[in-house]
Structure 1
Amino acid sequence: MLLLLIVVAFLYFNINPSEVNFLPKCPLYLTTGIYCPGCGSQRATHHLLNFNFVGVLQQNILYIIGLLILGYHLIIISLNSIFKKNIYNYLYHPKTPIFLLIIIVIFWILRNIPYYPFNILAPN
């Protein structure tokens, strides 16, 4: 699994998904022209691996939020296991999935409005 992760990271580090045709495209965007909440994530991964944080934000701001949530989760799990603590992980709160779903749906709707300032949310 680690080897696969390294190969994929190497691929996205060296290849810009917007410049090649062999990487998968978003099926929702290809069929409807509507950006899904994940559109731009491949290009955002490429920019992140090349330390272009502005490029990441231009492709998908929700990508950064997802990475922050993942980082929070890993830090809490690590602190609890290493220091034998019992720090509460708010991701396990029953209302967290509903809150995250609301954020994702609002982002999905706003990024498809073709007028300023909402068109900033669409991937470049």
Structure 2
Amino acid sequence: MRRVNAETQRVTRPRPVERFVPRRLVVPVGALAAVAGAFAFVGAVDPNQPGHYPVCPLLRYTGVYCPGCGGLRSAHALVHGDLATALTDNALAVVGYFVFAVVWTVWAVRSARGRPLRIDLGPVHLWSVGVLLLVFTVVRNLPFGGWLHP
């Protein structure tokens, strides 16, 4: 139905009703599907059995555990509902999984509302993450940090 604006004498069409558009969620749902697929694969193919995944090069050539060592075993344990084992395999990875879940939820809600996700990390935040990774790596490779070994 067309309406004529009396001031401008132009024919205008009514604006469509704003409604929830599933297209807004295509990218967040696609990202979640990719992560869920990766977790499903790691849950199905046990990283504790040799030969399924490549060995960490840093661990193989230097004997030093990197911050990611044990991450696949941690994901496998988490998929199978064993949070205690996941934390002992790589506690920092488990924290990362939950941070991803929170950020993804915020992203999906904002996308559904038609708003972009804005994560403004300043230098202090990035340096803090770097220091956390460094401290985690150093502590897990010292004798008293044996409880952090995968």
Q: How far apart, CA to CA, are the structure 1 residues paired with 2:87 and 2:62?
A: 24
Q: Structure 1 residues 119 and 99, CA, compared in 2 at 3 Å: closer, same or farther?
A: same
Matched, 1:65 2:95: yes
Q: Structure 1 residues 3 and 62, CA, compared in 2 at 3 Å: closer, same or farther?
A: closer
**TM-score scaled by length of structure 2:** 0.67
Identity of aligned residues (%): 23
Q: How far apart, CA to CA, are the structure 2 residues paired with 1:101 and 1:40?
A: 19
Displacement of 1:5 in angstroms is 6.0
Displacement of 1:73 in angstroms is 1.6
Matched residue count = 118
Larger Rg belongs to: 2
Q: How far apart, CA to CA, are the structure 2 residues paired with 1:82 and 1:10?
A: 26
Displacement of 1:52 in angstroms is 1.0
Matched, 1:48 2:78: yes
Q: Return the match for 1:103 from 129, 132, 139.
A: 132
Q: How far apart, CA to CA, are the structure 2 residues paired with 1:33 and 1:98?
A: 26
Task: Mark the runs of 5 or more structure 2 residues left unpaired by the alignment.
Answer: 1-29
Task: Mark the runs of 5 or more structure 1 residues left unpaired by the alignment.
Answer: none
Displacement of 1:107 in angstroms is 0.3
**TM-score scaled by length of structure 1:** 0.80
Once superposed, what is the RMSD of the aligned Cα atoms? 2.5
Structure 1: which amino acid aligns with 2:121?
H
Which structure carries more helix by proportion? 1
Report what 1:113 is aligned to. 142
